[in-house]
Amino acid sequence: MTKSKPMTIIRPRITDFHNILISQSEIDFAIPFLNEDIPLYVDPFLLWKSPSYQDKSLHGAILNSFNQLGWLVKKNKTEIALDQLIISSECNEVGLGHSARRKGKRIGKKQAIEILRLFEIIPQYDQRGFSHFEEIQFFVDGISKDRISDIACSFMKSFLIDFTIDQCENLNIPLSDCTISHLYNLDKYSFDNDVTLQLPINPDTNEPILFVPKRWLRFTPWINFDDYFKEYCPRDEIINPGEKLDRVKVLNYNRQNYGVIEVYIKEKERTFDDCKNDPLFTQIPVLSAKKKFASIKKLPSGKDGNADKSYEDFVCQMMPSLLYPHLDFATEQSRTISGTLIRDLIFYNNRSNEFLKEIYDDYSSTQIVMELKNVKSIEREHINQLNRYMTDSLGKFGILVTRNEISKSKQKNTIDLWSGQRRCIITLTDMDLEQMVEIFESKQRLPLDVIKKKYVDFRRKCPS
C-alpha cells in the first residue's frame, strides 16, 4: 500500500495525496480533486451510442430506473417516486460540476413534482416512458447538465462502486470503511439506506469518492436546451419580434407540442457519430503555439500597454500544451507580494520521466511552479519572490519565465541559493520558448528537454 502524506499542495488530487505516480492521460477515469469538482458531466447519450454492451446496458438500467418513477405515479405511489427522484438528483461522491467544496444541493419537492407530472401530461411519456431522460430539461425550469449527470450517476452508482474499487486495486489506492447513504438497488427499483463498504475517501472530510470513466464525460450533454433553442425551436411561434427570451414560455410551448422535441431527438440520434467525449485537457494546435510565440516576440518588456498581462496570457495558453502529457496542468493563479501582483503556472509533478523524478528526489517537488515575468532583466527581488514561494509543500524547484537570460550577478544569487539551501531556480527565456515550440512542431523530442537542458547547465555552474 502506498504511503500517504499530508496534502498542502495547490489543487490536490487523490493520486497526489497517496503519492501515486501517474498522469491523467494514462488512466481511464477522471482523477478527482479533493476540495473541488471536476468541471465535466456524465452525458447519458454517450452510454446510449457506445459500442460497448456494458455501456448500453447501463443506459438501459438508468432509463428503466427513471421510467419506474412514472410507474410509481400510475400506481398512486407518488410520494415514493418523489423521494426517489429527489435523492437521485445529487451524487456528491463523483465530484462532477462546479462546486468549490464537492457538495451539491438536491432539487426541491416542487421541482420534483413538475418532473413527475411529465408522465401524465405528455401522452408519449405516459404510454412508453422516456427514451432519453435528458428530455426533462425541455419541460422543467432549472434542470440542466448537472442534474442530468447526477441522476445518471445515482442510478448506476453500484457500477461506479465496482469500477472505483477495481481502479484502486490496480493503482494501489487505499480503500477505507465508509457509508453510502443512498445506494440504488436495481433489483428492487429503490434506494437502500446507509450501505457500508470500502471505497477511497477524501482525507479532509472522510467522505467516499467514486471514479467516473473519462469516456462518458462532456462539458455539455449532446441533448441540451441551448442547442435545441438555437437550432430547432420555432421561436417565431413562441416569442413576438423584439420580445426578450422567456425560457418559461419555451418550456410551456414544448409541453403542448411534443412533436418538436421528438424531431430534435431523432436528429440528435441520427448524428450520433458527432457526439464525442470531451477530454480533460486538449493541446493547442502547433499553428496556434507558433502564433502565440510570434505575439510574445512582438511584445515590449514591461507594463506599457498592458504588455505584461498579454505576455502572461500567451505563456499561460502555450505552456500547458508544450509540457503535456508529462506534466499535468494544475492551475494558473495570481498572488500578491509587497503590493506586486505575480502570475504563476503550477503543474503536478507525476515523475513521468527520469528528469522529473530527479527533480522530485532532489527538491521534493510534488508540484512545479513557473513565475512569469515580462521584464527586461531579472532583479534580485524577483528571485527572492519565487524563493519565498517554494515551500516544503510545493518543493524547492522553481522556474522564472522571462524575456532574457539573467545577468551573471543574478545568476550568482541563484547559485548561492542552491549552495546554501539546496533550492533551485532556473530561467526560461524567449529563446527557450522558441525552441520548445520548434520541438513541439517537429515531435522529434520533448519540449520538456529544454527545461532539462537549462537545469543541467545550471547544475554545472554550481559547486560540487
Report the alpha-carbon distance of residue 68 to residue 155 in Å, rounded. 11
The CATH number of the structural domain formed by 286-461 is 3.40.91
Sequence-ordered list of residues with C-beta below 8 angstroms from that of 261, at least 6 positions apart, any chain: 135, 138, 228, 254
Distances (CA, A) of 439 to 289, 322, 447: 11, 9, 6
Task: Select the more confidently predicted residue: 419 or 243.
Answer: 419
Sheet holding 424-428, edge to edge: 328-337, 340-348, 367-372, 397-401, 424-428
DSSP string covering 36-59: S-BS-EE-HHHHHH-S-HHHHHHH
As beta bridge partners, residue 368 has 347
Residue 243 in this model has a pLDDT that exceeds 80: no
pLDDT tens-digit series, residues 315-355: 999 999 999 999 999 998 887 777 677 889 999 998 989 99
Q: How many CB atoms within 10 Å of residue 89? A: 21
300-304 average pLDDT score: 93
Per-residue confidence (pLDDT) for residue 295, from 0 to 100:
96
Per-residue confidence (pLDDT) for residue 464, from 0 to 100:
78
Per-residue confidence (pLDDT) for residue 68, from 0 to 100:
98
Distances (CA, A) of 267 to 109, 129, 143, 149, 178: 33, 19, 22, 22, 44
Per-residue confidence (pLDDT) for residue 1, from 0 to 100:
39
- 6 class by beta-carbon count within 10 Å (0-12 exposed, 13-18 middle, 19+ buried): exposed
pLDDT tens-digit series, residues 113-168: 999 999 999 999 999 999 999 999 999 999 999 999 999 999 999 999 999 999 99
Report the alpha-carbon distance of residue 126 to residue 113 in Å, rounded. 15
Per-residue confidence (pLDDT) for residue 339, from 0 to 100:
67
pLDDT tens-digit series, residues 23-64: 999 999 999 999 899 999 999 999 999 999 999 999 999 999
- Which pTM value belongs to this model? 0.88
Task: Select the more confidently predicted residue: 343 or 190.
Answer: 190
Task: Select the more confidently predicted residue: 377 or 240.
Answer: 377
> Residue ranges per domain, the chain?
14-274, 286-461
